[in-house]
Amino acid sequence: MYLGVVFNLNIQLLFNEKNKVKMKKIYLFAAAIYFCGFSTAATLTSTEPTSKSTKKFGTNDVKVVGTKLDKFLVAGSQTYIKAVVKNVGSNSITSVEINWNDGTGDHKERVTAYISANQQREVTHPIPTSYSDVATKNITVSITKVNDQDDSDTSNNSMVAMTSVVSEFVPKKVVFEEGTGTWCGWCPRGMVALKKVNEDFPDDQISIAVHGGSNTEPMKYPEYVSSLGITGFPGMVVDRELKGVDIHPNTIGNYVTTRSQMASPAKLSGEFSIDGNQLTATAKGQFYINNPTANYKMAVIVLEDNVTGTTSGYNQANYYKNNSQGEMGGFESLPDPVPAAQMVYDHVARAMLGGFSGQDGSVPTAITVGSSASYTFNYTIPATYKSDKLNAVVLLIDSADGSIITGAKLTKTNLAVNDVSKIGASTKIFPNPAKSDFNIKLADDGMYSVKIYDMTGREVKNLGEVKSNSKNINVPINLTAGKYLVNITKDGVSFSKDLLVK
């Protein structure tokens, strides 16, 4: 009998009948094994272990927990696939074999990767992807070997990454949605950050200040805040992909410089006009992608600049007073709280037209290169808002994951009263507040689509296509008390009306 040693935590006890080696004593010091008292010579190099004689300590096992691949890829360009790999075995990892396959064949490469047990890291495949055809690609990314050996559990070694090839490069507009509040002493940092990014990148990003977090907040929009999932103030969400992001004037520009270089499948534009208390916004999209099953929606966010107030609720809490936290855009020289008379609030979110998740039917399901979409939204402006300080932005939302693909600032036009705004102005909801039903008074008879959304953008009732009777539609409801948005659509024109249920 003889003893063989395999390092890297694998110790094998091997038995050899042929050589009849007798072992009287074994001394083990650190990593060396000493053999004493052999009665016959042994040919150690000729011996192979049997399956029954092997006992292994330690495993080579990884789990692919994610992939990273540009969501949109310009035809003819290259990009590298990354796998997020976690070591779920007991052996430390020094290398992996990573593979990607888009249906045309394997691309296996050995990559050095140091990953300790229960840790994870990104592993980049050295062979880039590149496509000339404008289509959606599903790519299986997998780890095929660990430490040059087969993985002990292959059930968790792969994930599918998807990219859509676009016909030409259209830079995306980066969308910042910031949770803020007048009661929040750290929120001046967010105000300064949005001011700076609008000065440095006026055409590459969209800034939205969503107030909330306290019932004393005079500009509160709690439904918007809860939809974003913001719990700490100031908080920031970038493109509804990066969440819980710290907002700071020194770093916010980095998101623009990196994310604005990502390709977009669409270019958005549009305009809005105001007549009296009626705002009419037309959002447009031009597409550079072929996708027969796209699930995109447009939403328009109404913003107000130069918001001021005289009550104590408009005082801004300020933890930067007396230069206690260093320079912060001038707030270090202001008191705590900053009096309302000295405060002006910009980018204040006032309304989500189409809801948080976007308007159904605003973008066709089947999209081809060169195709376009257009949708008209209408909004009744509350008397407390300053109409001349309102702005509107359009967002293109991917319903598959809720992310914002791109956005655009709508151009304000000084149009005369048009038919669309007249129709919107003449559409009435009564009684309001309602309890068990309400009526929609319309300008004309015809077929209308009627949907009701809660303030998170969730559809709570869908009447489908209904025909008005004597320019009226009766809508029975069974809803909990609260505020809702009634969306009325006819011939591609949408009107949004507030509804209170008591």
Cβ(496)–Cβ(451) under 8 Å? no
Residue 484 pLDDT greater than 60, yes or no: yes
* Residue-level pLDDT at 458: 73
- The residue among 255 and 20 whose pLDDT is bigger is 255
Structure tokens at 376: 């008209």
3-state secondary structure of 133: coil
At 398-437, the pLDDT tens digits run 999 999 999 999 999 865 444 555 556 678 899 999 999 9
The model carries a pTM of 0.74
At 73-102, the pLDDT tens digits run 999 999 999 999 999 999 999 999 999 999
- The residue among 469 and 22 whose pLDDT is bigger is 469
Read off the pLDDT band of 63 (50, 70, 90): very high
CA atoms within a 13 Å half-sphere pointing along the CA-CB vector of 287: 23
Give me the mean pLDDT over the 341-346 stretch: 97
At 280-332, the pLDDT tens digits run 999 999 999 999 999 999 999 999 999 999 999 999 999 999 999 999 999 99
Residue 355 pLDDT greater than 60, yes or no: yes
* Residue-level pLDDT at 18: 41
3-state secondary structure of 226: helix
What's the CATH class of domain 62-166? mainly beta
What is the per-residue DSSP string for 67-117?
A: EE--SEEETT--B--EEEEEE-SSSPEEEEEEEEESSS-EEEEEEEEEE-T
Query: Domain residue spans in the chain?
Result: 1-57, 62-166, 174-412, 427-501
Give me the mean pLDDT over the 461-465 stretch: 87
Q: In what order do the strands lie in the sheet with 472-476?
A: 428-430, 437-441, 472-476
* Number of other CB atoms surrounding residue 104 within 10 Å: 7
Measured distance CA(40)–CA(42) in Å, rounded: 6
Task: Find, among 61, 258, 244, 271, the residue nearest to 149 by Cα.
Answer: 61
Asked if the domains at 174-412 and 427-501 fall in one CATH topology, the answer is yes
Q: Which residues contact 203 (CB under 8 A, 6 or more apart)?
A: none
Q: Which residues contact 170 (CB under 8 A, 6 or more apart)?
A: 263, 264, 265, 266, 267, 288, 406
Read off the pLDDT band of 347 (50, 70, 90): very high
* Residue-level pLDDT at 424: 63
Read off the pLDDT band of 453 (50, 70, 90): confident
* Residue-level pLDDT at 48: 44
Phi, psi of 83 (to 5 degrees): -110, 135
Give me the mean pLDDT over the 263-276 stretch: 95
At 168-216, the pLDDT tens digits run 999 999 999 999 999 999 999 999 999 999 999 999 999 999 999 999 9
Burial of 149 (0-12, 13-18, 19+ CB in 10 A): exposed
At 6-62, the pLDDT tens digits run 444 443 444 444 444 444 444 443 444 333 333 334 434 444 444 443 434 579 999
* Residue-level pLDDT at 421: 52
Read off the pLDDT band of 485 (50, 70, 90): confident
**427-501 carries CATH number 3.40.50.460:** no
Selecting from 3.40.50.1100, 2.60.40.10, 3.40.50.1000, 1.10.260.30, what CATH number does the domain 174-412 have? Answer: 2.60.40.10
* Residue-level pLDDT at 494: 72
* Residue-level pLDDT at 422: 54
Residue 467 pLDDT greater than 90, yes or no: no
Mean residue pLDDT across the chain:
87
Spell 51-90 as b/e; 16+ CB within 10 A means b: eeeeeeeebbbbbbeebebbbbbbbeeebebbbbbbbbbe
